Each structure stands twice: as C-alpha cells, then as structure tokens.
Amino acid sequence: MEVVQVKDKQFKLTMPESEILSAIRVIADKMNHDLAGKNPIFIAVLNGAFMYASDLMKHITIPCEISFVKLASYHGTKSSNAVSELIGLNVDISNRTVVVVEDIVDSGLTMQKLVELLQSRQVKELYLSTLLFKPDALQCPVELDYIAKEIPNDFIVGYGLDYDGYGRNLRNIYTLIPE
C-alpha cells in the first residue's frame, strides 16, 4: 500500500494517475461529440481544477476557448450571509455555450453557487463537468453533465486537490487514513 504524508496526516493511494487519465479521455470524447459546432468556452475553477483542466483540454479537439476563474466568498456581519463572487472572468460569456470544469462536487454548494453566478451572465447553455463526485455527500440538487469518477465520501488529496494547501502536486489521488 502506497502511503503519503501530507502535513500531519497520512493518505493511501486509491486512484492512480493512469485511471484518472483514462476517465478524463472518456469525458473528452463525449464533449467532442456533444459540443461540436457550439464553439464552447470552458471555465476551469482554480485552484483545484488546474490538473484536470490541463489533461482534459489536451483531448478536446473541437474549436473552443478556455478561461480560469476563482470563487471568492465575502462574509458579511453574519457568517451565514456569505456572498460569492466570480474573480478573473474577463471574457463575455453571454449567449455562449459554457462548460464548467470543476475538481470535485462534495456537498454541491460550490457548484450550485457557480451555476447561479454564471446563469446571471445570460449564457446560452451551461454544461457542468467534474473530475470527482461524492454522491453520498450531496446536499443540494445539481445536474452534472460529465462526471469522470464517482468516489466514496472520504477526504482525498492529490491531482489538484489539497489538504490545507498541500498535496495538490501529487500525480495520483490519495484517501485519508483515519487515525
């Protein structure tokens, strides 16, 4: 069993790079088919989706654009009143076919917020893609169009995903070993 230490925690190898890459290829093939002629703009959500976006885009063969955004939350006087804002979107996405490129859908709240923010910019159509999906953690309805891999409700690191800022550089995906 391959184990890595990230900060104070240990993680075991659960998804090798080869498995991630072949799942991404399947999604890319579907996108090339579904989105042909739509001139889509892919919107990758930083930081977590940087590796997924990179490997996905290498297999997209139709004309397209890619842009990168961050989702920032500002807390008002009450922490429950978090206001989210999209940072870095410097292209006009109105009347465009937009494809979200996310690392993981856990509770689904981040994806739900993204959908709301993107819809408010009058996109023509919105497709949602995620590298990883934890169906058992979902707390709100999100309609995902492309899921590379479904995973159990465990904490993972690697391939862009972090534990307290660390571990994003790992080429495989590792699952937290409970203490």
Based on the shown chain and the rule CB under 6 A, indicate whether residue 110 belongs to the binding site for ligand IMP: yes
Residues 10-49 that bind ligand IMP (CB under 6 A): 48
Based on the shown chain and the rule CB under 6 A, indicate whether residue 172 belongs to the binding site for ligand IMP: no
Based on the shown chain and the rule CB under 6 A, indicate whether residue 129 belongs to the binding site for ligand IMP: no
Buried b (16+ CB within 10 A) or exposed e, 102-129: bbbbbebebbebbbeebeeeebeebbbb
Q: Which does 93 bind (CB under 5 to 8 A by kind): Mg ion, ligand IMP, none?
A: none
Task: From 3-11, 53-61, 62-70, 153-161, give the range in contact with ligand IMP by CB under 6 A.
Answer: 153-161
Residue 140: strand, helix, or coil: coil
Nearest Cα residue to 12 out of 137, 152, 164, 108: 152
Q: Which does 55 bind (CB under 5 to 8 A by kind): ligand IMP, Mg ion, none?
A: none
Is 162 among the catalytic positions? no
> Looking at residue 28, what DSSP letter applies?
H
